[in-house]
Amino acid sequence: PAALPRAVNLSGTPFRVSSASCSRLHLLRPCPDPDLPNCFHCPWECQLIHNPARILPSCGSPKNRPDPEQGCQADVISYLDSLLLRFGFEIEWDEDPNDAYFPSCRRCQASGGVCGFDSSDPDNPFLCFRRESAISPPWIRRHSPNLVISAIFVVVTLVALIAVAALKFRSLKRKLADELSEDPTTLFLRRQRSASLLPPVFTYDDLELATGKFDSRRKIGDGGFGSVYRAQLSDGRVVAVKRLHRQSSDSAAVDTYFTKSFCNEILILSSIEHPHMVKLHGYCSDPRGLLLVYDYVPNGTLADHLHSQRRSTLDQTLTWQVRLEIAIQVATAIEYLHFSVKPPVVHRDITSSNIFVESDMRVKVGDFGLSRLMSGPGPAGSGPGVVVTGPQGTPGYLDPDYHNCFRLTEKSDVYSFGVVLMELITGKRAVDERRERREAALADLVVVRIQMGRLREVVDPGLVSGGEVVDGVGAVAELAFRCVAADKDDRPDMAEVAAELRRISGRSCASRHSCSDFDVAA
C-alpha cells in the first residue's frame, strides 16, 4: 500500500470532512505503551500515533476522550494506512446562496419538475423539465395512437425488466448465502485474486492423512509461525506441510495476525516463480488449522548446516565454493523480488533458517509470511519505495534503520542478506547470547573485526588453509560490510550485490584454473 501523506488540508476549499469520518479518527487511539519509532528522526509518525486526527486538521480535537484501552489499535500507522488510503474519507459541502441554480431547482422540484440545464448554450442556463401526468383518458385523447402504443411498450418493457431484476436478486441472494457459509479466509483470497490464479485447495482431512495426523516423528521444522511436516499426498508426491499456530479465542488479535500472514504468503507466492524460491503447491483454510503445502526440500536449512550439532558431518560438503554459490543463488532470488516483480516485494525475513538446502546443495528461499508489496511513493521527505509499518523480522537480521524509524525499503533485505553472508564466512549464529553483550549480534562482531583489520579471528576454521584465509573470503566480507551499513543509502542494492558475488566467484574459478558445474549453475 501507498504510504501516509503529511496531512490532508481542505482549508480554502468549499469542502469539509464529514463528522462521521472525524468521529472515526477521534475514536482511533494507540494501546497503552505503544511501540513508538525514533521520534527525533520520525516526528510525524510519532504525532500520528499519539493523535491520529492530525492527518485531517479540519477535524479538530475530540470533545470527549474515549477510554484509552477500549478498542485501541496496536499499530496505528498501519490502521491509518488501511482506513484512509484504501477506503478514503467522506466530505461535505454547502449550497452556494449566491448561485441561482439551487433556489431555481427547489422550485422546479416542488412543482414536479426535473432540474437540468441547456448544455447547448455556453452559459448553461437553468431548465426545468416538466413531467407529463400519469396515463389517463384525457392524456390519451390529447395524443396520437402511436404514443399509446409506445406507452404500452414502455410498460411491458418495465415489467420485463422488473422480472429479470427479481431473478437476479434471488440469484445474488443465494450466492451471498453460499459466501456467508464459506470460509472467510478462502473468500478473502478469491476477492483478491481470480481463483484460476490461486494454488489448489486441499481439505484438512487429506493433509491430516498425508502427515500421519501431524505425527511428531514427521516434523522437520518448528518456528514462531508454525511447524513443518513431511507429507505424502494421495498421488504419491512428497511435500512439506506447514501448519500455522492457531491461537485461543481470547487471543483474537494474534489469531488475526497469523491469518494475515497466511493470506499474505499465498498471494505473494502464487504470483512469483523463481528456481531458487520454494513453490507453493496449495493451501487449506479450516477452523481446525491453516495449512500451506510447499516443495519438500530434503536437506534441511542453511542454519542446520552452519550451526546444528551435526555440523561436523557436513564440513566436507560446505566448502567455500559451495558457500559462495549458495550466496549467489540467494542473492539472485532477492534480486528477482526487488527488480523483476511489479510492484517489488520485500521479503522482510531473510535468514539462514529460511534458506532451504536441496540434496545437491542448491538452495531455495522460503517463508514469505512477513513479505510486503512496495507500491506507491513514500511519505514526504522519505523518497520512493518506502512503506511505513511496524518493524517485523528476526532479531540479528532486522535492519536497524527500519527498526528505529518504521521505514521499510528494499535495503532492509540487503541488510539481512549481509548478515547471512557473515554467517557463511564465520559459521557463527546471527545472535549468540554466549558472546559478550556488545558482540552478541554477529553484524557488530564482524564489523568491528573488519575495521580493525582482524577478520581472520572470526573466519570459520574450515575456510583457512595453510594459515591463510582462502581466496575470495575477504572480498565477500567487504561486501557484507557494505550491506550492513547503518545508513541504508550507503548499502548496495541487490542487483549490485549479485553482480559482485558473480565477479568474486569468477575470480575464484580463475585462481583454481577450473570451475565445477556447481560453480556456474547459479
pLDDT for residue 334: 97
* 326 and 431, same domain (yes or no): yes
* 226 and 367, same domain (yes or no): no
pLDDT for residue 132: 56
Is 369 a member of any domain?
yes
* 368 and 441, same domain (yes or no): yes
Asked if residues 3 and 383 have their Cβ atoms less than 8 Å apart, the reply is no
The pLDDT-based confidence of 446 (bands split at 50, 70, 90) is very high
503-509: list long-range contacts, CB under 8 Å, 24+ apart. 504/324, 504/472, 504/475, 504/476, 504/479, 505/324, 505/325, 505/328, 505/472, 507/471, 507/472, 507/475, 508/320, 508/321, 508/324, 508/471, 508/472
pLDDT for residue 7: 79
Higher per-residue confidence, 339 vs 66? 339
Is 138 a member of any domain?
no
* 107 and 81, same domain (yes or no): no
- Give yes or no for a cis peptide into 343 (omega within 30° of 0): yes
CATH number of the domain residue 264 falls in: 3.30.200.20
* 504 and 393, same domain (yes or no): yes
Among 267, 296, 325, identify where a domain stops: 296
pLDDT for residue 177: 56
Is 222 a member of any domain?
yes
**Ranked by mean pLDDT, which of 213-217, 332-336, 369-373 comes out on top?**
332-336
Among 276, 296, 316, identify where a domain stops: 296
Is 177 a member of any domain?
yes
pLDDT for residue 246: 63
Is 513 a member of any domain?
no
pLDDT for residue 251: 56
> Which residues carry out catalysis?
349
The torsion defined by the Cα of 374, 377, 381 and 382, in degrees rounded to 10, comes to 10
Domain residues for the domain of 496 are 299-376+385-508
Is 3 a member of any domain?
no
Segment 379-407 shows an average pLDDT of 78
CATH number of the domain residue 450 falls in: 1.10.510.10
* 150 and 234, same domain (yes or no): no
- Position 195 pLDDT exceeds 70: no
Is 422 a member of any domain?
yes
* 160 and 123, same domain (yes or no): no
Segment 220-234 shows an average pLDDT of 85
Of 74, 55, 169, nearest to 390 by C-alpha is 74
The pLDDT-based confidence of 127 (bands split at 50, 70, 90) is confident
- Position 439 pLDDT exceeds 50: yes
The Cα–Cα gap between 464 and 473 comes to: 10
* 150 and 202, same domain (yes or no): no
The pLDDT-based confidence of 382 (bands split at 50, 70, 90) is very low
- Position 351 pLDDT exceeds 80: yes
* 113 and 87, same domain (yes or no): no
Among 268, 296, 324, identify where a domain stops: 296
- Position 275 pLDDT exceeds 50: yes
Domains in the chain, number: 5
Note the pLDDT tens digit of each residue in 100-120.
777 888 888 888 888 877 767
* 58 and 126, same domain (yes or no): no
pLDDT for residue 383: 46
The pLDDT-based confidence of 521 (bands split at 50, 70, 90) is very low
Is 331 a member of any domain?
yes
Mean of all residue pLDDT scores within the chain: 82
* 344 and 482, same domain (yes or no): yes
* 335 and 352, same domain (yes or no): yes
Binding-site positions for ATP read 242
- Position 242 pLDDT exceeds 70: yes
pLDDT for residue 71: 61
Binding-site positions read 242
Q: Let me know the angle formed at the C-alpha of 114 by 111 and 116, rounded to the nearest 5 degrees.
A: 130
